[in-house]
Structure 1
């Protein structure tokens, strides 16, 4: 079973598990500000669940690529939509600021720190 490390927590999940669901089930605050209320609930259209993922995950699908190619996201950044990402091996997750998680400052890191704040 893969390990997920995010916001100072490390926990196991099933291989192929949806990253967004796994993070929310662990009580990790995935959304910034009002995005916790105003989001697409995992269908890949809003982009508010964007995170940096290091480790083995599924390839980026068309929903992920399309949404991250539109403002305020930047397709050249190494972010993923957690709702469109399956965990395939051990991963480390970082969340950035901005309503859509598109900012430059880290909100939380895998180890739980927010060194940019």
Structure 2
């Protein structure tokens, strides 16, 4: 089973699990500020659950690429939408500042 490391915690999940759901189930908030209440609830349309993921995950699909290509995100960013990312192996997750997680300062890792 893949291991997910985030916010100083490490836990296991099933291969193919949705990263956003896994993080939330383990008490890790993927949203900054008011994005906790104003978000698309995992549909991949708002971009507020963006995180940096290092490890084995699914390839981004067209809808994720499209959203991350729109401001305030940048198409050449290293961020992924946690709601559109499937965990395939061990991963390390980092959340950055900014309403959409688009900033440069680490909030947690």
What TM-score does the superposition give when structure 1 sets the normalisation length?
Answer: 0.92
Q: Any unmatched runs of 5+ in structure 2? A: none
Q: Secondary structure in 1 aligned to 2:63? A: helix
Question: Between Structure 1 and Structure 2, how many residues are aligned?
Answer: 109
Q: Any unmatched runs of 5+ in structure 1? A: 110-117
Question: RMSD in angstroms over aligned alpha carbons?
Answer: 0.4
Q: Secondary structure in 2 aligned to 1:67? A: helix
4+ residue stretches of structure 1 with deviation over 4 A?
Answer: none
C-alpha distance in 1, partners of 2:39/2:29? 13
Q: Which residue does the alignment assign to 1:90?
A: 90
C-alpha distance in 1, partners of 2:29/2:36? 8
What TM-score does the superposition give when structure 2 sets the normalisation length?
Answer: 0.99
Write out per-residue CA displacement over residues 53-95 of structure 1, whole angstroms, 9 at most, x where no aligned residue.
0000000011110000000001111000000000000000000
